[in-house]
Structures are given as structure tokens and as C-alpha cells.
Amino acid sequence: MNKTVRIALVALLCMGAAACTKKEVKPQPVAPPPVVAPVAPVSDGKYTPADLDTDACLRQRVVYFDFDKSEIKPEFQAIMACHAKYLQDRPTAQIRLEGNADERGTREYNLGLGERRGNAVSSALQADGGSASQLSVVSYGKEKPVCREHNEDCWSKNRRVNIVYTAQ
């Protein structure tokens, strides 16, 4: 029973997310991409691998965090929901969550912090319907910064979890 409620919630969230993303896309005069249609029968509402490249929500693969924090901020809930739905729709899909930290603090402690963030995303994806067997977490700590300046702007870009599909 719980599960059905959860799925219903996920579906609602996803609809919400889709609506949001549609709004973002609207201003652009876009020709509808017909290529997707034959591959993915829209009727069953399930994600297909093609959506990973085209769906505005699924294309978002980075979750950012506050300093020394691993709570998922509200603005990333929609991303959690659509990736969780993808995992549900595609039981063979696998995600590697790569946890990262900013440069403040020591390397080993930041390995722990990166993992804590990866675990937070993993928990959120599972709460939204993903399966634990589809998720793995690796922490790089502060070893893989995307930005190398010593300021908050840069640090905020490095405090992240990358969502990496290892099987679609």
C-alpha cells in the first residue's frame, strides 16, 4: 500500500517536474522532435534511454550542497524524482553517485563528506522509488574539483554529487 502511494506521489512529482521543464522550454520556438516517438511509446509514460539525452529533468545530473552539509536542498527534489522514476522504469539501469567536497578541510575527512553526500542522494533516490541494487556511491572527496579558485563561488561548484549512468 505504501508503495502504491509512493509511486503515485512520484508520478505526481514527475508530472510537476515535467510541467516545470515544459515551461522553461516554451519560449523557444521548437520544432517537435519526431525521432523520439517511434522508439518510446508515449502512452505508457515510461522513460527510455533516449530521454537521458532529451528530457530536461533527466539531463540534470549534478546535485549541489551547502558547506559541510549533506542535506538535499528543496530545489533538487524534482531531479531526485525524475531519476528515481527512470530507475523504476528501467530496472536494468545503474547509477554511480560520485560524491565531492570543496577544498576546505583535510583530504580524508572530505572523502567522508563526499560519501555522506553520495549516500544522501542514494537515500533520496530510493525514497522516490529507485532500488538500492541500482545505486552505488563512490567518494572522491576534494580530489576532483571542477573549479580551482579559492572562493565560495568556486567551492559551491565543487560541493556536489555527480549522477553517472553506468547502465541505461
Q: Which of 77, 136, 156, 168 binds other proteins (CB under 8 A)?
A: 136
| Residue 157 lies near other proteins (rule: CB under 8 A) | no
- Alpha helices, DSSP H only, in 26-167? 36-39, 51-54, 77-89, 107-127, 152-158
Which stretch, 16-24, 55-63, 85-93, 106-114, contacts other proteins (CB under 8 A)? 106-114
What's the closest the beta carbon of residue 94 comes to other proteins, in angstroms? 14
Which stretch, 15-23, 51-59, 72-80, 98-106, contacts other proteins (CB under 8 A)? 98-106
Q: Which of 113, 120, 125, 161 binds other proteins (CB under 8 A)?
A: 113
Which stretch, 14-22, 39-47, 147-155, 156-164, contacts other proteins (CB under 8 A)? 147-155
Half-sphere exposure of 31 (CA within 13 A, CB side): 3
Q: Which of 35, 107, 132, 167 binds other proteins (CB under 8 A)?
A: 107
Read out DSSP for 83-103?
HHHHHHH-TT-EEEEEEE--S
- Say how far residue 131 (Cα) sits from the centre of its chain: 14
Which triple of cell numbers denotes residue 111? 572523502
Which triple of cell numbers denotes residue 75? 530545489
Using CA atoms, how far apart are residues 25 and 160, in angstroms rounded to an integer? Answer: 25
User: Which residue number, 21 or 100, has a Cβ lying nearer to other proteins?
Assistant: 100
